[in-house]
Amino acid sequence: MDELRVMDPNTPKLEAWRQAKGLSYIELGRLLQCADVTARRIALGMRQADATTTERIVGLTGGDVSVLDLHTARLAYERASETEIRDGGSEGGTGEGVAGHGATLGGAAPAVTANDAKGFA
């Protein structure tokens, strides 16, 4: 199989593969058996794929996109996000935080009250 050519070296390999195949995020999500927004986030390095999805990606792409490619894309995204936070952030952020787990950029997390914790007892 021909080697996947990435024109922009900053484009994550799964995203380049998706574009080369002419797939929408909806189509990619169906192939990976996940939501289209999840497929988009994984393709752009915004989210780490779980083990099952990673296995599907490697199989779907015939090895053109490897586990290392996915890891490298995720690290690049995290590093870019960390730089953005250090440099004062930007307008229109997602509010997802560096790791995409709901972390806030503006200080401490809100306090948990007794009413909030009832379901955890």
Domain residues for the domain of 47 are 13-86
Residue-level pLDDT at 3: 54
107 falls within a domain: no
CATH number (domain holding residue 33): 1.10.260.40
Question: Domain total for the chain?
Answer: 1
Residue at 102 is within a domain: no
Any domain includes 40: yes
Residue 82 lies in a domain: yes
Judge if pTM exceeds 0.75.
no
In order along its 121 residues, the chain shows pLDDT tens digits of 455 554 577 899 999 999 999 999 999 999 999 999 999 999 999 999 999 999 999 999 999 999 999 999 999 999 998 877 777 655 444 444 444 444 434 444 445 454 544 444 4
- The DSSP-derived string for the chain is -PPPP-SSTTS-HHHHHHHHHT--HHHHHHHHTS-HHHHHHHHTTSSPPPHHHHHHHHHHTTTSS-HHHHHHHHHHHHHHHHHHHHTT--TT--S-TTTTSS--SSSSPPPPPHHHHGGG-
Does residue 1 fall inside a structural domain? no
